[in-house]
């Protein structure tokens, strides 16, 4: 069994919610009301893509799921664990949720291999041999094993992002968050990262992705959520979203990104 296989638990658990966010509201410290009551339920095994214009709060929204951003009102439950505005249960939730960032955020002083194995060793207290085994499997899976001894700075952006995905998966999360994972990449590197994300989705991982990759959203997403100005505007299937958008705001957005 590879680390990519996620138990969907058959029909009994297939409809269980992985993420339940209700009326989440957030103000930045400068008073800006970035999330104006957003509700979203993500079921286990679902791939949800968040789209929306910049400043709409998409990144901020998914960053509330693992408590990188505090929020002031509403509630979030991750795999049944409540994440209160007071940031309780943060450790339990971060154990369930992996995250991939726009700027990769690999640790520059650790080799590629150590980047993947350090969290299992230091956070999960896993024996080094076991962590090394997981790191080897994951790097193999994302196609970077032959570069394992290099430092992140020696890799291309696409390679770094694939390592970042492996690093997050090494903690064996139940949910993966992707915050614009291809936005900082040169165009020719986008595909290699999307391919890894696609195979992860096919393995049954619960995924929430903020991305502007229309092809990926059309093909891989179970649902598309459209956020604008801190509000959830649409929650629908990719086919409906791209072919038959309901709101003017969505149509305007699509006319801007589909050229």
Partner 1 sequence: MGYTFDFSVVWDNIGLFIAGALLTFRISLIAIAFGLILGIIGALFRTSGNRILNAITLAYVEIIRNTPFLIQLFFIFFGLPKLGIRLNAEQAAILSLSINFGAYSTEIVRAGVESIPKGQVEAAMALGFKPLKIFRYIILIPALSNIYTALIGQVILAVLFTSVVSQIATEDLTFAGDFLNSRTFRSFEIYFTVCLFYLAIVWIIKGIGYWVERRFFEFAKYSRR
Which pair of structure tokens corresponds to residue 178?
Answer: 């992707």
Tell me if 242 contacts partner 1 by CB under 8 A.
no
- Max Cα separation, the chain? 55
Between 124 and 174, CB nearer to partner 1: 124
Residues 129-148, interacting with partner 1 (CB under 8 A): none
Q: How far is the CB of 165 from partner 1 (least distance, A)?
A: 12
Between 98 and 158, CB nearer to partner 1: 98
Q: How far apart are the first and last CA of the chain?
A: 42
Between 124 and 218, CB nearer to partner 1: 124
Task: Write the DSSP symbol of residue 90.
Answer: H
Total residues in contact with partner 1, by rule CB under 8 A: 31
Tell me if 205 contacts partner 1 by CB under 8 A.
no
Q: 87 vs 36, 91, 104, 130, 155, CA distance in Å?
A: 19, 9, 25, 31, 36
Using the rule CB under 8 A, which residue among 2, 103, 237, 255 binds partner 1?
Answer: 103
Tell me if 89 contacts partner 1 by CB under 8 A.
no
Q: Which residues pair with 232 in a beta bridge?
A: 227
The backbone region for 80, taken as left when phi is positive above 0, alpha when psi lies in -120 to 50, beta otherwise, is: left
Interface ranges with partner 1 (CB under 8 A): 66-68, 91, 94-95, 97-99, 101, 103, 105-110, 118-119, 122-124, 150-154, 164, 167-168, 171
């Amino acid at each position: 069994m590879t680390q990519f296989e996620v138990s969907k638990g058959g029909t009994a658990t297939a409809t269980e919610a992985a993420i339940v966010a209700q009326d989440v509201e957030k103000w930045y410290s400068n008073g800006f009301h970035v999330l104006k009551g957003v509700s979203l339920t993500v079921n286990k095994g679902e791939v949800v893509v968040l789209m929306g214009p910049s400043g709409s709060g998409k990144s901020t929204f998914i960053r509330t799921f693992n408590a990188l951003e505090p929020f002031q009102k509403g509630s979030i439950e991750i795999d049944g664990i409540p994440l209160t505005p007071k940031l309780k249960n943060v450790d339990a939730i971060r154990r369930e949720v992996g995250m991939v960032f726009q700027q990769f955020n690999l640790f520059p002083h650790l080799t590629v291999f150590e980047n993947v194995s350090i969290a299992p060793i230091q956070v999960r207290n896993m024996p080094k041999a076991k962590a090394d085994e997981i790191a080897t499997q994951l790097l193999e899976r994302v196609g970077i094993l032959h570069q394992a001894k290099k430092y992140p700075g020696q890799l291309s952006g696409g390679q770094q992002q694939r390592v970042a995905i492996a690093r997050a998966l090494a903690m064996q999360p139940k949910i993966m968050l992707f915050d614009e994972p291809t936005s900082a990449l040169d165009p020719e590197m986008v595909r290699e990262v999307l391919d890894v994300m696609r195979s992860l989705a096919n393995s049954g991982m619960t995924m929430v992705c903020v991305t502007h990759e229309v092809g990926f959203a059309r093909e891989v997403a179970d649902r598309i959520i459209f956020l604008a100005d801190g509000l959830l505007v649409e929650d629908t299937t990719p086919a409906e979203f791209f072919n038959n958008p309901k709101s003017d705001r969505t149509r305007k957005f699509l006319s801007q990104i589909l050229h």
